[in-house]
């Protein structure tokens, strides 16, 4: 499925009047309540843009400041891969699905038991995703626990770029490591000007600690990335009843306010900065107060956020594909399927977490990427809808076949069964029971494991040419490339 042909906007959770009310409430929150900004330089920057700053470090934003920032914000951001990797044209209702997370556990492909991720796992997941067509981008999914903290940011970007040609997104723990990652990507891209023109990497920054409080460290990372003109997702992740109101509408008003403040901040740093509206709203299980990533209410919230992004004409970094299940089981399937399909139909531009995730972002599994690739493919097929034309209505074919006839040998049939009219599964088993039993009765997880192992066994390519790799190594200390 061509990522560029997937168009959402077919489902709307909020009415037009509800959208306007949430936008109004968010603007009122920013002008009355404001946000807390601990960093003096950031306060001064926002004050220079016209914000009012009070003695308690509250920064309040007027309607005019917000509208001015929105006028400067691009309504379209284009992210690039390398070679034949899909270009991600973010804006409008164009839909792209990819990985996400910073999982601290991975289910071992052989034993199925959870363990700490290693840098080799990051390389292997990137190589796996490279060969899964319905996963369009690679957001660093695991935290490698065998890498020194001071090397982690640079090594993860290098490992991702060395093992997939798809667009790479990641985070940075400091402005310095963000600049190093940009320099590394510039070497791979052929210079910083080439990188800005065709960004093969982007960043996600959790600059906002809900409710309404800027994180000093992450805000300075955001500034470092934005200054260089590299696209950045503005991630804020309020949880209903915990770090946001218990009502879904109240959470939406707060998270929209947080996102608007991030857009003002980014445009204060660099006017015209390419940013993604990046809400990651969720709910808590009120029996345990634990994060409930697979809840249907989270899907509703995220689909509503898509509409809010469309309202202000800013591309959106959406969230779908989480599950509270600890294993690739039926619960993972129905929670992921409901969330991914709803967000795709809503028109999320850059839907992260849509592959691999388990245990409410705490874990990933190799076979889950294969399963989610199938779920994504089905969602993308749903977006295409049904083509109605003189050719597809097939009146002449029906007339030729006539009552009681058979369409199997008709040229029209042979032509259409070979097109995108039908989704061709790579994982689902449609054989009869006898054939399935003869093959050993493999269930979906077992089949997915087999596919993953087959991909991981393939000979690896040099996605970073050797001469470019030597140049990067002349500048930075980097890990050895992963080989099969």
Per the CB < 8 A criterion, the answer to whether 256 and 308 are in contact is yes
pLDDT grade for 84, boundaries at 50, 70 and 90: very high
| CA-based R_g, the chain, Å | 23
Q: Where are the alpha helices (DSSP H) in 198-329?
A: 216-227, 248-269, 296-312
Percent of residues in the chain assigned helix, strand, coil, to nearest 5 = 45, 15, 40
Please state the rounded mean pLDDT for residues 22-50: 97
Kindly report the average pLDDT of the chain as a whole number. 96
- The structure's pTM equals 0.97
pLDDT digits (tens, 9 = 90+) for 340-399: 999 999 999 999 999 999 999 999 999 999 999 999 999 999 999 999 999 999 999 999
How much is the pLDDT for 2?
A: 47
How much is the pLDDT for 317?
A: 98
Sorted by where each starts, the structural domains of the chain and their CATH numbers stand as 3-14+71-384 (3.20.20.480)
| Distance separating alpha carbons of residues 51 and 266, to the nearest angstrom | 14
How much is the pLDDT for 343?
A: 98
Residue 180 CA: distances (Å) to CA of 151, 278, 475: 10, 24, 10
How much is the pLDDT for 484?
A: 58
How much is the pLDDT for 289?
A: 81
Please state the rounded mean pLDDT for residues 316-330: 98
How much is the pLDDT for 286?
A: 83
How much is the pLDDT for 42?
A: 97
pLDDT grade for 419, boundaries at 50, 70 and 90: confident
Cis peptide before 211 (omega within 30 of 0): yes
How much is the pLDDT for 236?
A: 98
Please state the rounded mean pLDDT for residues 453-471: 97
Above 60 in pLDDT, residue 329? yes
How much is the pLDDT for 418?
A: 85
Hunting for tokens 């899964």 — which residue is that? Answer: 132
| Distance separating alpha carbons of residues 162 and 160, to the nearest angstrom | 5
How much is the pLDDT for 483?
A: 65
| DSSP secondary structure string for all residues of 450-468 | HHHHHHHTSPP--SS-HHH
Q: Which residues contact 227 (CB under 8 A, 6 or more apart)?
A: 269, 270
> With b meaning 16 or more CB within 10 Å and e meaning fewer, what string describes 190-220?
eebeebbeebbbbbbbbbbbbbbebbebbbb
| Distance separating alpha carbons of residues 89 and 82, to the nearest angstrom | 14
Please state the rounded mean pLDDT for residues 205-221: 97
How much is the pLDDT for 288?
A: 84
């Amino acid at each position: 499925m061509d990522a560029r042909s997937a168009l959402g906007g077919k489902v709307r959770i909020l009415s037009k009047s509800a959208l306007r009310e949430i936008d109004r409430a968010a603007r009122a929150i920013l002008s009355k309540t404001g946000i807390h900004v601990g960093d003096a330089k950031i306060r001064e920057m926002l004050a220079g843009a016209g914000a009012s700053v009070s003695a308690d470090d509250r920064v309040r934003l007027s309607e005019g400041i917000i509208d001015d920032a929105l006028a400067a914000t691009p309504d379209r951001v284009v992210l690039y891969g390398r070679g034949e990797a899909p270009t991600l044209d973010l804006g409008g209702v164009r839909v792209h699905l990819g990985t996400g997370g910073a999982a601290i556990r991975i289910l071992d492909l052989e034993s199925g038991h959870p363990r700490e991720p290693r840098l080799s796992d990051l390389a292997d997941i990137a190589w796996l995703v490279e060969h899964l067509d319905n996963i369009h981008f690679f957001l660093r999914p695991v935290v490698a626990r065998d890498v020194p903290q001071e090397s982690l940011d640079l090594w993860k970007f290098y490992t991702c770029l060395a093992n997939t040609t798809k667009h790479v997104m990641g985070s940075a723990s400091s402005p310095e490591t963000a600049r190093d990652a940009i320099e590394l990507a510039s070497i791979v891209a052929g210079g910083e000007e080439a990188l800005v023109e065709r960004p093969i990497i982007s960043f996600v920054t959790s600059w906002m600690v809900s409710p309404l409080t800027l994180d000093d460290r992450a805000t300075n990372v955001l500034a470092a990335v934005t200054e260089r003109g590299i696209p950045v997702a503005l991630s804020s992740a309020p949880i209903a009843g915990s770090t946001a109101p218990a009502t879904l509408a109240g959470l939406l008003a707060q998270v929209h306010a947080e996102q608007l403040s991030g857009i003002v901040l980014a445009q204060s740093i660099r006017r015209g900065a390419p940013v993604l509206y990046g809400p990651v709203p969720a709910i808590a299980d009120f029996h345990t107060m634990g994060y409930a990533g697979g809840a249907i209410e989270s899907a509703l919230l995220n689909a509503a956020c898509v509409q809010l992004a469309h309202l202000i004409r800013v591309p959106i970094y959406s969230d779908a594909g989480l599950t509270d299940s600890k294993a690739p089981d039926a619960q993972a399937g129905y929670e992921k399927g409901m969330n991914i399909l709803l967000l795709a139909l809503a028109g999320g531009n850059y839907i992260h977490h849509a592959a691999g995730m388990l245990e409410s972002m705490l874990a990933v599994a190799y076979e889950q990427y294969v399963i989610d690739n199938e779920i994504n493919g089905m969602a993308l097929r749903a977006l295409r809808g049904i083509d109605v034309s003189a050719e597809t209505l097939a009146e002449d074919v029906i007339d030729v076949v006539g009552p009681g006839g058979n369409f199997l040998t008709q040229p029209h049939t042979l032509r259409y069964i070979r097109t995108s009219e039908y989704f061709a599964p790579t994982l689902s088993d449609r054989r009869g029971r006898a054939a399935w039993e003869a093959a050993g009765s493999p269930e979906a997880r077992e089949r997915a494991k087999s596919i993953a192992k087959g991909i991981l066994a393939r000979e690896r390519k040099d996605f970073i040419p050797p001469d470019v790799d030597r140049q990067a190594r002349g500048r930075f200390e980097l890990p050895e490339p992963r080989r099969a």
